Structure 1
Amino acid sequence: MSSFESLIEYCKDDWNRYIQHDFVQQLGKGILDKSCFQHYLKQDYLFLIQFSRAWGLAVYKSHDILEIRQALASMKAIVEVELDLHVQYCKEWGISKQELDNLPEAEANIAYTRYMLDAGQQGDLLDLHIALAPCLIGYGVLARWIEQQSWYQAHNNPYQSWIDMYTGDEFHAAMQAEIEWINQRLAGIDSQRFQKLAEIFSKATQLEADFWQMGLNKSY
């Protein structure tokens, strides 16, 4: 029976490169260059805008009122809460709202977000969720992975509030709900359908790793 773990197993090397990326390790050690983190934060603001569009697409792709409500709630959470929180967090790192509003979009950001949207447009609601899963679930996995490492430095780590966000109970409750949603829909699917979904998941995971690399390189 297919499950979210089956997707990870399908692209285990890519998944580990994403979860254990050098950006993630430097962040966990507290040694990540401030300018790299700022670059990531700025691009993540643009990512969230596209992420809200993906949830808007999820509303359209939904088949019943429960799915519509769930997708709408996710979209509203980003548009009405998360974006404002992100702007405030960026301000703490010396990034103004004006700067965020005038940012060029990095190639890695374009590649990842447009891939997510394209996967959802060409496929169904499950295809879209699978494309979103490395972000929706992966951040929680990698934050917990950081905490388990012997090199993890919590004391005086300038990025501790970021780690706390993704190890917190609220994020993990949402993460587990997403895993359960995916598992319910993967149960009993045929091998051909799983193969297609696994390819989407693998590509999205690779693009997530590229997003970290973009942060390290401070590239556009």
Structure 2
Amino acid sequence: MQSPFLIPPFALECKTFAKTSFGASFNHPFVLSLADGSLDPKLFRFYQIQDAKYLEAFSDACAILSTKVKDPDDKLWFIDAARMALVVEGQLHLGYGKSLGYDAKTIANTEPTPNNLAYQNHMVATALQGTILEGLCAIAPCPWLYVELGQHILREKGSIPDDHPYASWLTMYSDPGFNEYMSNLLTRLQKYADLSDSESKNRAKVAFQQSCNYEWMFWEQAWTNQNWPSR
């Protein structure tokens, strides 16, 4: 699958290590239905609210990593990444909230699904307990997959029709502007890989693969309207 941005050597090692986990999301029925516009709006609403909850943890992980790095440019990049997760993507969620009937209070009062909570805990725990490289590998699959997925769908469709029910989502993640974000992320991934020993690199690749698995599980929790067992 063609990448819209340069993939440095260690990032390629991670993607290769993840094997089919990385590409599995592209063929998930939720993604396919989202792309062709047939996805039930109730499932998309469920997904959007859970995604907003997830992005709070993604922001936390980036903020934690900002306290670990010493390079001021890297520190600022992680702080900006934490902010972007809440502000830029948050605008998309609240935009759909107007048509799908939810708001910031709805998001705050919603409990994460089991799959979502597990993914959040994986990212935050890795950022806290692991090396900078391991924390980077735990957060990298989410933006990487979304950018490649959005631009893959755009190539497949040729263009996004204005009347597509999920045009805003498809347009956002197919935006070439995200390529610069990914280039910056993967450049830092390579930088900290070059500073790491082989054991840390191996743990980082495992963290990357686990996040790829959680990405597929995130689509699955939305597709199945996952909930906790009755208490």
Does 140-149 or 106-115 show the bigger shift? 140-149
| 1:210 alignment partner, SS class | helix
- Stretches of structure 2 that go unaligned for 5 or more consecutive residues are 1-7
1:199 & 1:211 partners in 2: Cα distance? 18
- Deviation, 1:81, is 4.5
Judge conservation of contact 1:137–1:178 (CA < 8 Å) in 2: no
Q: Describe the shift of the 1:85–1:161 C-alpha distance in structure 2 as closer, same or farther (beyond 3 A).
A: closer
**Selected match of 2:185 from 155, 166, 178:** 178
What corresponds to 1:40 in structure 2?
Answer: 47
Count of residue pairs the alignment pairs up? 219
Instruction: Give the counterpart letter for 1:143 in structure 2.
Output: G
1:60 to 67, 70, 73: 67
- Structure 1: gaps (5+ residues): none
| 4+ long deviations beyond 4 Å | 187-191
Q: Is the 8 A contact 2:133 2:201 kept in 1?
A: no
Higher relative contact order (CA 8 A, sep 6+): 1
* 8 Å Cα contact 2:61-2:123 kept in structure 1: yes
Is 1:6 equivalent to 2:13 in the alignment? Answer: yes
Q: How does 1:180-195 map to 2 (within 5 A)?
A: 180-187=187-194, 191-195=198-202
Distance 2:183 2:109 in 1: 35
What CA distance in whole angstroms lies between the structure 2 residues aligned with 1:79 and 1:162?
16
Question: In structure 1, what is the Cα distance between the partners aligned to 2:104 and 2:20?
Answer: 37
Identity of aligned residues (%): 25
User: What is the CA RMSD across the aligned residues, in angstroms?
Assistant: 2.2
Return closer, same or farther for 1:219/1:92 CA change in 2, 3 Å cut-off: same
Q: Map of 1:1-220 to 2, 5 A cutoff?
A: 2-149=9-156, 154-155=160-161, 156-187=163-194, 191-220=198-227
C-alpha separation between the residues in 2 aligned to 1:119 and 1:65? 22
Residue 188 to residue 19, structure 1, CA distance change in 2 (3 Å): farther
Paired amino acid for 2:36? K
Contact kept in structure 2, 1:2 and 1:186, CA below 8 Å: no
Which is further off, 67-76 or 52-61? Answer: 67-76
CA contact (8 A) 2:131 2:200 kept: no
Three-state SS of the structure 1 residue aligned to 2:226 is coil
Deviates more, 1:193-202 or 1:153-162: 153-162
